[in-house]
Amino acid sequence: MNSAKTITLAYTGASGMPYGVRLLELLLAGGHRVYLLYSQAAQLVAHQEMQLVLPSRPREAEEMFSRRFNAAEGQLRVFGREDWFAPVASGSNPADAMVVCPCTMGTLAAIAAGLSQKLIERSADVMLKENRKLILVPRETPFSTIHLENMLKLARSGVIILPPNPGFYHHPQTVQDMVDFVVARILDHLGITHKLMPRWGEQD
């Protein structure tokens, strides 16, 4: 059984919000503590892709997601884009791991360059300097040379680059099956057990 972890989860303005929302659901269902951050562009994408309104006020977002996913009191905390007093902003109180899902190329570039103008980038910078696990889920195609160079730079620093590329060997029947394939890989790299899909070589 998993021991409870503290995971920082960030949504940015790339396509792929269903991955991030499903990941939040499963982290909370597994009893893990989640620090949630999201950009203004992520609010637009969430509405376009899922008809999901991400509140601008952190407290309202906490209440909405806690109700939606039946989270325990205090299990989910949401922080504003420039809340520099958030625990994720300091290396003295880092989370166990951080996932940016979905991750824009702009966010990826800012992390690669060490820029910390917003809380998302600062949180990622903290994970790097504290040698904690950082997973980026970049949703773009095709990748330019600049994108690839930034990803290589981050990979050499220990960042896990996990593009949301679903497999088909498990014979997905729905879009949710394809979303779960990607989320399962994220959970694997977080060291969190799940039963989203059979593993290669296992029977259904």
Residues in the annotated binding site for dimethylallyl phosphate: 169, 185
Amino acid at 160: I
Residues in the annotated binding site for FMN: 13-15, 39, 104-107, 139
6 — phi, psi (to 5°)? -110, 120
CB 180 within 8 A of CB 171: no
Please tell me the distance from the alpha carbon of residue 158 to that of residue 133, in angstroms, as a whole number: 8
Q: At what angle do helices 17-29 and 58-69 cross, to 10 degrees?
A: 70
Which residue bears the tokens 């160079």?
Answer: 149
Instruction: Output b/e per residue, 163-175; b: 16+ Cβ within 10 A.
Output: bbebeeebebeee
Residues in the annotated binding site: 13-15, 39, 104-107, 139, 169, 185
C-alpha triplet 187, 86, 58: angle, nearest 5°: 80
| Torsion on CA atoms 56, 85, 41, 183, rounded to nearest 10 | -100
- Three-state SS for 36-60 is EEECHHHHHHHHHHHCCCCCCCHHH
Two structure tokens written together for 65:
């997601």
Q: Which residues pair with 77 in a beta bridge?
A: 35
